[in-house]
Amino acid sequence: MSIPLRIRLTAWNVFLLAVMLAVFASGVYEFLERQERSRVDRVLRERAMAFARVYASESVEEPQQTAVREAVRNTGAGEGEIIVYGPRSNQIAGPHARPPSPLVLEAIADAFRGHTRIIRFSPGVRAIVTPVDKEFALVVTQPETREREVLGRVRVAFALAIPAALLIAAVGGYFVAGRSLAPVGRIAETASHIEAEDLSARIAVPNAGDELGRLAEVLNALLDRLERSFAQQRQLIADTSHELRTPVAVIRSEAELALSRERDANDYRKALEIVQSESAHLTHLIEGVLMLARADARQIALSRRPLPLAEVIEESVRTARTLARAHGVEIRSRTGHDLIVNGDAELVRRMLLNLIDNAVKFSHDGGIVSLDAYRAGTNAVITVSDHGRGISPADQPHIFDRFFRGDRARTGDGAGLGLSMVKWIAEAHGGSVRLVQSSASGSVFEVVLPAAAPDAARAS
C-alpha cells in the first residue's frame, strides 16, 4: 500500500522530533538526578563535620563514649540518623540498635582504615561513613525523599509535555507539508493535461529560487524539447510522405502504361529506365530519412579513428567523377597529405560525396568543381566550390533544413536531405558547415572539422 508523501513527511518529522525530545529529556533528567544526589551528599558531609566539631569539644571534658553520645544528642536532629560504631562494629550511640548490612560493615571497616565512603544505607536512604578520632566509625544517613519528589515531578512533566509537543508537531507538520507540496500537486495537475497532440502548455513556476521552481523549469525545458521533437517527427513524416508520393506515382503510372497494351522492346526499356531511376531516387530518399531518424534518436555510433583526409577526399572525388563526366563537369582537388581528422570514414565520405554531388548537379556544362582542404589552427577546413548559378538570397537561410527545396534545390539526393545530412555529420564530428558565399558565378561551402593531434597524424 502506497503511503502519501505528505503523511510520510509528517511521520518523519514527528519521529525526528521524538528522538530529539527523548535525548533532551534523558539529558535533563540525568542532570537533575546528579544535582539532587550532590545536594544529599553535601548535606551528609556537613552533618558529619558538625558531629566532629561537637565531639571534639565534648571530648575535652568527658570520656570518649560519653562525648560520642553527647555529640549524637546535640547533632542528631534532622531527617536522617547518626550512628556511631566501635572497633568491633558494635553500636556505641544512635537510635535503636539494628544489625548493619554487609555494605555498611564493609564501609565501617574502611573507616577504621582511615577512608570515608558515601553509600546507599537502605532503599531511599544514603549515608556517609567516616572515621572519628581513630576510635569510632560515624554513620550519618539522609533520606532521598526530596530527590524522589523532584524527579517524580520531572517525569510527570515530561510524560505530559512530550506527547503534547509531538501532537502539535504532527498537526503542524501535516499542515506545513501540505502547503509545501501544493506546488507539486499543481505541477502534476498541469502535466496530466498535457498530451502528445498538444505540448504547448507549460507548468507555472511557483518560485524560481527554490527546488520546486527548479523542477518546474526542468520540466518546461523537457516539454520544449519534446514539442520540438514531436514537431520535427511530424514534419519528417509529412515531408517523407510528400516526397514518396511522386516517385511511387511515377513508377505506378509507368507500370500501368507499359501493361496497358503490347509494346515494342524499346518502349519497355524506356519504361524500365524510368522505373529504375525513380527506384534509385526512392532508395536515396529512404536511406536519408532512416539515417536522419537514427541520428535524431542518437542510435548512430561513430567509429572514430585518425583519418587521413587526403585519402578520403581522393576516394570521394574518384567516385564522383563518373557523375561529373555525365554532366560535363571537371572535379579538381587539393589537400595536404599530413592533414588528419578523428572521424568515421564512412560518414565523412558520405558528407563529401553529398557536397560534391550537389555542386556537380548545379554546375554549368563545362564547369569546374574545386575541393580544397587545409589546416587552420587546430581545425581542418574543407571547401567545395562550383561555377553554378548560385542560390537565391531568400533560400540561403533554409538550405540546411530537411526537405527544403527552393528553386531547383541544391541537394545531393534531390529530396532536400543531402545538405541536412552534411550538417548532421559535421556537427556529429564536433565541426560545422556553412555557405560561405553564393552568387551568379557560383557557390562555396565550407566544412570545419577538429584536426587530430600531430602525434595521431604521425601514427596514422
Provide the pLDDT for residue 457: 46
Please write the tens of the pLDDT for every residue from 385-437. 998 888 888 888 878 876 666 554 444 445 567 788 888 889 888 899 999 98
Provide the pLDDT for residue 78: 73
- Whether the Cβ atoms of residue 21 and residue 166 lie closer than 8 Å to each other: yes
How are beta strands 305-308 and 82-85 bridged, if at all? unpaired
Provide the pLDDT for residue 413: 45
Provide the pLDDT for residue 353: 86
pTM across the whole model: 0.50
Please write the tens of the pLDDT for every residue from 42-62. 999 999 999 999 988 888 888
Mean pLDDT of 91-115: 86
From the list 377, 397, 391, the residue with the least C-alpha distance to 449 is 377
User: Which tops the pLDDT comparison, 78 or 46?
Assistant: 46
Residue 146, pLDDT > 80, answer yes
- Whether the Cβ atoms of residue 78 and residue 53 lie closer than 8 Å to each other: no
% pLDDT > 70, the chain: 87
Please write the tens of the pLDDT for every residue from 334-368. 887 778 888 888 888 888 988 988 888 888 888 89
Lowest mean pLDDT among 77-91, 279-293, 437-451: 279-293
Who contacts 95 (Cβ-Cβ below 8 Å, separation ≥6)?
81, 83
Provide the pLDDT for residue 17: 93
Provide the pLDDT for residue 411: 42
Please write the tens of the pLDDT for every residue from 171-222. 998 898 888 777 777 777 777 777 766 677 777 776 777 777 788 888 888 8
For the chain, list the domains and their CATH numbers: 5-148 (3.30.450.20), 211-296 (1.10.287.130), 305-459 (3.30.565.10)
**Which amino acid is located at 122 in the chain?**
S
Provide the pLDDT for residue 218: 84
Mean pLDDT of 330-337: 83
Provide the pLDDT for residue 16: 94
**How far, in Å, CA of 310 to CA of 316, rounded?**
10
User: Which tops the pLDDT comparison, 369 or 286?
Assistant: 369
Residue 89, pLDDT > 80, answer yes
Provide the pLDDT for residue 404: 66
